[in-house]
Amino acid sequence: MKKQQSLLAYIAGAILVFTSLSVISFTDASRQVLSSKEEDKPTIVLVHGAFADGSSWNKVIPILQKKGYQTIAVQNPLTSLGDDVAFVERAMAEVQGKVILVGHSWGGVVITQAGNNEKVKSLVYVAAYAPDEGQSIESISKDAHEVRKVPNVPGLADPVVSDGYIRLKEETVINHFAQDLSRQEARIIAAGQGRFHVSTITAKVSNPAWKNKPSFFIVSDNDHIISPQVESEMAKNIHATTYHLPTSHVAMLSKPDKVAEVILKAAGDK
């Protein structure tokens, strides 16, 4: 009788161990599948513009992360095109797999140059410059406003230049850079703005990445920093899938859900 009880106890224990191992194996397999699915998703690399820093993406990042996307907001120094491209390259070097490269404002110039990296799947321009080969912010602006007489916008009429670096007055940020945000939020942006070196204005792009990568473009229809008409023209020139938002220059802060929507489309999210 005791032998039978011992045998039954042994069998019961063996079944329990087998079941436990099966559950563990199933759980591990499930985790591997989920991990594999996440690895299949491209990493979103966000590049801020002039008079800003990486925190300008703080409302968009949680939306992308909730969708399971790894996200990097680059803190580019705004000291030169070469320096900013190098910072983006360093961020992309950390990534395993494909990248969706997103640029706001001056960040559009940076991603146009940095986007030639083989990891880059597509480009997203948010109220940004999208220069052609040999173009700079200066040449784009001169052609639009001096040659073709496109009406200018007031945001850059009275910048502060000190020791070769440009910043915006607090009132300019409130009234023209982020005019659709609360005054308090605009003041925080003004306090944290980066200083933009004057050399960046004349920095020319070579081999624009949009010639070989799918591009998406968000035009900010109430932009006071870059003319919305000029944004629309650049979007057309690069054959971008184009979206219009009724926002200030900082669309990613005033309409983060809509900006994230476009980024997710660029990433192939259903």
Distance CA 52, CA 253 (A): 12
DSSP state of 248: -
This prediction's pTM: 0.86
Q: pLDDT at position 21, please? A: 41
Distance CA 77, CA 83 (A): 7
Kindly report, residue by residue over 122-147, the tens digit of the pLDDT: 999 999 999 999 999 999 999 999 99
- Please state at what angle helix 81-93 crosses helix 107-114, rounded to 10 degrees: 60
Low-confidence ranges of the chain (pLDDT < 70): 1-39
Q: pLDDT at position 211, please? A: 98
Distance CA 235, CA 126 (A): 10
Is the distance from CB of 221 to CB of 128 less than 8 angstroms? no
Nearest to 87 by CA among 58, 45, 34, 51: 45
By DSSP bridging, strand 43-47 and strand 160-162 are unpaired
Bridge partners (DSSP) listed for residue 219: 244
